Chains A and B, each alone.
Chain A
């Protein structure tokens, strides 16, 4: 949040050179609090980053990262020229966008849960709805397959009961995105509320009391107190979400994929998994991963810009 303004306020005005020394002398404890995390990132995230260079190299195991020969943009060219490049990119973007549209659902549910008077029902509702988060991908997919089975599946029984004809959803490219996204939502809706509930717990009860005295309705209190109170959290989570825009869990896609629905289910993540991990083409998959990261940066910066303009909350 508007950190720059306040930072300059906190600084004593005047001679900039000595002020820096003074600043550290006065505030060294704050920086000391900051340091362990930064050192951590340096060791475990920055040192390994030399690995990225192999995106531009032809990685040869016994020559190592530094010794492998440079090949420039060869791997990128291969990716962009691939027959499936357009399809991969399109599917990845559409699937990500679809998931993004559902971003408000956990917020609404959290607000809703928060309004319940504290008691057994609220407690159970919370505990039960967060539990599906723990069901493993393999089992979730197993359940999806079982429910959507054209012969024995529950859904098709219902369709047939109402006079429709049974349908094989899993091999239909038109249905893949819906199945993928909504089953994900089904699993993560409850879990997704946790952070908002914690934010709502921080709302000053006196504000609510004051609003009650002023005769505000529940709806008005939500709109004017609760939502503004968690707005910073919403914005931060939204921006962070955008930062991993292109990253789709490949495991579930892989399990739901078949040759008949690959028209919509083929995404970059599964492609990277297959070429990089299974086939050991490290240079190539690093290049594809780098491409993803660059798109993510663009999306992230735009999201932050947008957030600053619209809500005046932002990451930086």
Chain B
């Protein structure tokens, strides 16, 4: 197969996948500005039908939205810093051949992936450390997982050649110096990926906020959005029992609920979609030209 045909076939393949995958995105965007009745009955399946902006209006009517945005950004930024600060040194050290008892250390880390003590004991640790109702309850528990360490370690092994480190050592460089000045610059792509993964995880997570925070002023965006969403979902999905406590007519609310669902999604993911291209830059081939061969 010549390179030309390969190129064409490849482009067709990617285009096909893109078309299939893009469909839900168009659907979500269209649904967010369509009449919810049209969405739930299947009349709207690609382009918006009976355009309305009620969903967005309701979402932005909530005063807490901006506070939520601010908190989430703080959590994400701080969380990424803590994550990388714990992750990178550890992963680098594990990639070094001179480290002893490596299998033991690996198991120590892997074990945490397989077993956990459950919600209550973890809660008690967070509580005893005095982190309840502070930023740290969101940022610290879950800051590090076995998965990222092992993936990052593989990268260091691949991209930071042992000869390079040994050579630097002969020149009198310390391990700290090598880590900060040689290993890190060589590993920009993995740092970007890890930051992205962890950041997105933090952005979307609400459960630890539910459990560890009771001060509204600390609520992240996802929690605020859930409040709006769930408020409008009403008893509709909860069935028979709860409807008894409802006042008056909620016909309109049931309708708007469906629409808000999509507006909320757009409000909460748009910032990430805007940030992504900046991260993407680091995946471009050839970041490490130069520094390898000295």
Direct contact of A and B (CB under 8 A): yes
- A residues whose Cβ falls under 8 Å from a Cβ of B: 1, 3-4, 6-7, 9-11, 23, 27, 29-34, 36-38, 40-41, 43-52, 54, 65, 109, 112-116, 118, 121, 123-136, 138-140, 142-143, 146-147, 149, 152-154, 186-187, 189-190, 194-195, 197-205, 217-219, 229, 232-233, 236-237, 240, 243-244, 282, 286, 289-290, 293, 296-297, 300, 315-316
Residue of B nearest to A28 (CB): B175
Q: Pick from A128, A149, A290, A315: contact of B106, CB below 8 A.
A: A315
Residues of A within 8 A of B158 (CB): 199, 202, 229, 232-233
Residue of A nearest to B149 (CB): A37
Give min CB distance, B201 to chain A, whole Å: 11
Q: Contact flags (1/0) for B11-38 with A, using CB distance below 8 Å?
A: 1011101101110110110000000000
Whether the Cβ atoms of B117 and A282 lie closer than 8 Å is no
24 contacts between A and B (CB under 8 A): A4-B102, A7-B100, A29-B176, A30-B99, A31-B99, A33-B179, A40-B144, A47-B121, A48-B124, A50-B117, A51-B117, A123-B280, A133-B200, A143-B24, A146-B40, A149-B42, A187-B24, A194-B193, A195-B193, A200-B283, A218-B6, A219-B1, A232-B158, A243-B114
Residues of A within 8 A of B106 (CB): 315-316
Residues of A within 8 A of B247 (CB): none
Whether the Cβ atoms of B113 and A37 lie closer than 8 Å is no
Give min CB distance, A181 to chain B, whole Å: 15
Residues of B within 8 A of A139 (CB): 28, 261-262, 265
Residues of B within 8 A of A38 (CB): 90, 105, 108-109
Residues of B within 8 A of A138 (CB): 261
Residue of A nearest to B88 (CB): A33
* B221 interface contact, C-beta 8 A: no
* B170 interface contact, C-beta 8 A: no
Residue of A nearest to B153 (CB): A236
Q: Chain B at the A interface: mostly helix, strand, loop or mixed? A: helix
Whether the Cβ atoms of A36 and B85 lie closer than 8 Å is yes
Q: How far is the CA of A189 from the CA of B45 in the complex (A)?
A: 22
Q: Pick from A48, A132, A300: contact of B116, CB below 8 A.
A: A48
Residue of B nearest to A193 (CB): B283
Q: Pick from A3, A109, A124: contact of B97, CB below 8 A.
A: A3
Residue of A nearest to B268 (CB): A134
* B214 interface contact, C-beta 8 A: no
Give min CB distance, B46 to chain A, whole Å: 9
Residue of A nearest to B86 (CB): A37
Q: Which of B124-165 contact A (CB under 8 A)?
A: 124-125, 129, 140-144, 146-147, 149-151, 154-155, 157-159, 162
Whether the Cβ atoms of A7 and B102 lie closer than 8 Å is yes
Residues of A within 8 A of B210 (CB): none
Q: Contact flags (1/0) for B196-211 with A, using CB distance below 8 Å?
A: 1100100010000000
Residues of B within 8 A of A197 (CB): 283
List the 5 shortest-distance A-B pairs measured between CB atoms, nearest first. A48-B117, A37-B90, A51-B117, A6-B97, A48-B121
Residues of A within 8 A of B120 (CB): 51, 65, 282
Whether the Cβ atoms of A236 and B154 lie closer than 8 Å is yes
- B residues whose Cβ falls under 8 Å from a Cβ of A: 1-3, 6-7, 10-11, 13-15, 17-18, 20-22, 24-25, 27-28, 39-43, 45, 85-87, 89-90, 92-94, 96-100, 102-103, 105-110, 112-118, 120-122, 124-125, 129, 140-144, 146-147, 149-151, 154-155, 157-159, 162, 174-176, 179, 189-190, 192-193, 196-197, 200, 204, 258, 261-262, 265, 268-269, 272-273, 276-277, 280, 282-289, 292
Give min CB distance, B208 to chain A, whole Å: 12
Residues of A within 8 A of B100 (CB): 7, 23
Q: A109-B14, A205-B289, A236-B154 are in contact. List 15 more A-B contacts (CB 8 A).
A: A4-B102, A4-B103, A29-B174, A37-B87, A37-B144, A44-B142, A48-B121, A49-B117, A52-B117, A115-B6, A115-B10, A132-B25, A194-B193, A217-B1, A232-B157
Whether the Cβ atoms of A236 and B150 lie closer than 8 Å is yes
Q: Pick from B24, B90, B151, B159: contact of A236, CB below 8 A.
A: B151
Whether the Cβ atoms of A7 and B98 lie closer than 8 Å is yes
Residue of A nearest to B39 (CB): A146
Give min CB distance, A278 to chain B, whole Å: 13
Q: Pick from B3, B20, B143, B159: contact of A40, CB below 8 A.
A: B143
Q: How far is the CA of A82 from the CA of B6 in the complex (A)?
A: 55
Give min CB distance, B142 to chain A, whole Å: 8
Q: Pick from B25, B40, B272: contact of A128, CB below 8 A.
A: B25
Q: How far is the CA of A134 from the CA of B203 in the complex (A)?
A: 10
Q: How far is the CA of A240 from the CA of B109 in the complex (A)?
A: 12
Whether the Cβ atoms of A45 and B112 lie closer than 8 Å is yes
Residues of A within 8 A of B27 (CB): 143
Whether the Cβ atoms of A135 and B24 lie closer than 8 Å is yes
Q: How far is the CA of A197 from the CA of B117 in the complex (A)?
A: 35
Residue of B nearest to A146 (CB): B42
Residues of B within 8 A of A46 (CB): 112
Residues of A within 8 A of B85 (CB): 36
Residues of B within 8 A of A124 (CB): 18
Give min CB distance, A120 to chain B, whole Å: 11
Q: How far is the CA of A138 from the CA of B146 in the complex (A)?
A: 28
Whether the Cβ atoms of A198 and B193 lie closer than 8 Å is yes
Given A27-B175, A48-B122, A112-B14: A201 in contact with B21 (beta carbons within 8 A) = no
Give min CB distance, B95 to chain A, whole Å: 9
Q: How far is the CA of A190 from the CA of B28 in the complex (A)?
A: 17
Residues of B within 8 A of A282 (CB): 118, 120
